[in-house]
Amino acid sequence: MRYAQKDQIIKHSQWMILNRIHTAMLINEYENAKRFLLDEIGNKTQSYYIQDEAVFGTMLFKLGQENMITNQCVTFTKWDIKNLNSPVQFELVDVSLLETARERGCLFLRKTGPDTEFKVDFKLMLANKDKLSQDINILEKQFNEL
């Protein structure tokens, strides 16, 4: 018998945030999930398989946490139009970019590198913590409405 039926597979962003309770649940479920994933690979099932973007969501669903899963991207990514398999590396991170990411509900940027130039006054942004608190309250409200 399969670990998860097709209608129990929950696809989500592979960039995610887990709380401590869910992390502990996933660790405790490790052996079942490992067996499940190895079976899927071993069967080479063409009808469906589990992508990395569905493993943790599916496990949490199986653990009765389906109402706690929010499919909201937390990592801001800009994709290369010529090569959609490759994200663009940000050459410049400025306030405008960070505001755009925050407006979309993102907390992280993908992808920066050693040559990325940062033109952001982080002290000033942190001093404007009212806006940050407001964003956090909006996210909490959305989460609680699930």
Q: Is the pTM of this model over 0.85?
A: no
**Cis status of the peptide bond prior to 6, with omega within 30 of 0:** no
* Cβ 62 vs Cβ 8: under 8 Å: yes
Interval 16-28: pLDDT, tens = 888 999 999 999 9
Interval 88-112: pLDDT, tens = 999 999 989 988 998 888 889 999 9
65 to 56, 122, 138: CA distances (angstroms): 11, 36, 22
Interval 28-61: pLDDT, tens = 988 877 777 776 666 655 555 567 788 888 889 8
